[in-house]
Amino acid sequence: MSASILPRGASRLACAVSLLLASALASAQLATRPPVDPLITPDASGWLQTHAPNHRIDLHNPFFQSLGSNGRSCNSCHRQGEGWTISAAEVQHRFDVTRGLDPIFALVDGADSPRDDISTLAAREKAFSMLTSRGVIRVGLPMPANAEFTLVAVDDPYGYASAAELSLFRRPLPATNLIWDSAVMWDGRETFAPFQPPMDAGLDMEDIRSSLSSQALHAILGHEQATVTPDQKTLDAIVDFESHLFTAQVFDRAAGILNEGGGMGGANILAQQRFWIGINDALGNDPTLEPFDANVMQLFDDWRNPRAMSSLDPHARARAAIARGEQLFDSMPINIRGVAGLNDVTGQSVIRGTCGTCHDSPNIGNHSVGAPLNIGIADGSRRTPDMPLYTLRNNSTGETVQTTDPGLAMLTGKWADIGKFKGPNLRGLAARAPYFHNGSAATLNDVVNFYDTRFNIGMTDQQKSDLVAFLSAL
């Protein structure tokens, strides 16, 4: 039951909150426009809600101030309406409105190559093609010293990448729901505790602050191109701000208000979610030794029984679809094969799991321990012509592998870590397409199709659309 994963008393509070919200939203819902509430913004399938202290976003926080030399702030790439990241559509819109002159369009890491010509509108259209089409930023990292592998070939359509600096195109991660991170950054490189297999314990609450503080420092020096190191007070203010944000979908155009009729969607309920590093870990890393509960997502349990809903309810069908999608997430069998970080670490060539095996944090959906995994998103076989492709050779075996992003291996230099990334938080997805570290899935439908193909699940169209309905409601 939903209540069991929330702190005691939370479900009652949640009901009170949802009642309040329900009445506040009811009239606005008729207009299908979000209510005038600074914490609610429209998105692809409804409305997104952010929960923040005192029910306001503190726009005076240094998060919103330009702290470097290029006019950017954290808010250039982490925006409330896009789930505190960016979406490709919003960036394209920003490009059109500003003729590619908004500060996000900076050569340093906004352009396909930092050597691009950006002197004319036409030149900028070309130079920022990855940012506008996929919502990705160019993370430039050098080949690690003493790596177990050598870079033997670079095929960079933008003519820049080399061993001195690989161009790795990555989506900004949401700067919200951060207190549940078990690793910071796609490759965990800002994680204060080591983010390495086998399944390290990851962060505790102290570590998360240190990790986020170090992350903010690097963002100011890097993305914002500051020439003066910001003081600790500024960093602390940013970390305080972002670590008190919680974000989730609160209204779905088809299903209505998501925390009504027993639904537990929305950011206010999310903010009360119980969590600790290792909670409900599928591989037995929960320090409390509580066994893994496959019902990872329990937000819409009450919508599973159609009889509980009046047939006159215009939302009944859509709610039933979301509830079926949640059930698929929790119970649809997936034969997990060939996932480095999982099959090799456990010594099992096939793990009979579910979506929740890897997205195991209850109602949050990231991995509750730092678990870098290679599910194949960066594989050479999935490369599209707009992505750089790197060929790496194993120094001892001579084996080669092609990848668009070596992921964790860029930090550890380990062959086994090539292509490993963290499983991100799954809340507020509808506001922040495209998906995966490189934005290779344009829609949630593409995400589901990826899994269906990658793991030979054999989903029906109905199952796919139910799962998409559920993911859109997160």
Interaction site with ligand HEC (CB under 6 A): 63, 72, 74, 76-78, 104, 109, 137, 139, 170, 172-173, 175, 178, 181, 184-187, 212, 215-216, 219-220, 223-224, 238, 242, 329, 334, 336, 339, 342, 353, 355, 357-359, 373, 375, 377, 421, 423-424, 426, 429, 435-437, 447, 451, 467, 471
CB closer to ligand HEC, 319 vs 359: 359
- What's the rounded Cα separation, in Å, for the pair 386 and 402? 15
- What's the rounded Cα separation, in Å, for the pair 91 and 109? 14
CB closer to ligand HEC, 34 vs 172: 172
Q: How far is the CB of 290 from ligand HEC (least distance, A)?
A: 21
CB closer to ligand HEC, 246 vs 316: 246
Q: How far is the CB of 308 from ligand HEC (least distance, A)?
A: 25
> Any idea what the Cα angle at residue 67 is, between residues 210 and 422, rounded to 5°?
40
Q: How far is the CB of 361 from ligand HEC (least distance, A)?
A: 12
CB closer to ligand HEC, 242 vs 260: 242
CB closer to ligand HEC, 178 vs 320: 178
Q: How far is the CB of 412 from ligand HEC (least distance, A)?
A: 15
Q: How far is the CB of 166 from ligand HEC (least distance, A)?
A: 12
By residue count, the chain amounts to 474
Residue 409: in which H helix or E strand, if any?
Answer: helix 409-412
Go through 234-252 and write b for each residue having 16 or more CB atoms within 10 A of its CB, e for each that does not. Answer: bbebbbebbbbbbbbbbbb
Please answer whether residues 104 and 72 qualify as being in contact, where contact means their C-beta atoms are separated by less than 8 angstroms.
yes
CB closer to ligand HEC, 267 vs 339: 339
Q: Which value, to the nearest 10 degrees, does the dihedral of the CA atoms of residues 276, 441, 283, 292 take? A: 60
Please answer whether residues 300 and 337 qualify as being in contact, where contact means their C-beta atoms are separated by less than 8 angstroms.
no
CB closer to ligand HEC, 103 vs 263: 103
Residue 165's DSSP bridge partners are: 162
Q: How far is the CB of 379 from ligand HEC (least distance, A)?
A: 10
- Pairing label, strands 389-394, 400-403: antiparallel
Go through 389-415 and write b for each residue having 16 or more CB atoms within 10 A of its CB, e for each that does not. Answer: bbbbeeeeeeeebebbbbbbbbbbbbb
CB closer to ligand HEC, 206 vs 313: 206
Q: How far is the CB of 217 from ligand HEC (least distance, A)?
A: 8
Cα torsion 73, 76, 77, 80: sign: positive
- What's the rounded Cα separation, in Å, for the pair 138 and 376? 20
Residues 6+ apart with CB under 8 A from 427: 177, 247, 248, 249, 270, 364, 365, 474
Q: How far is the CB of 456 from ligand HEC (least distance, A)?
A: 12
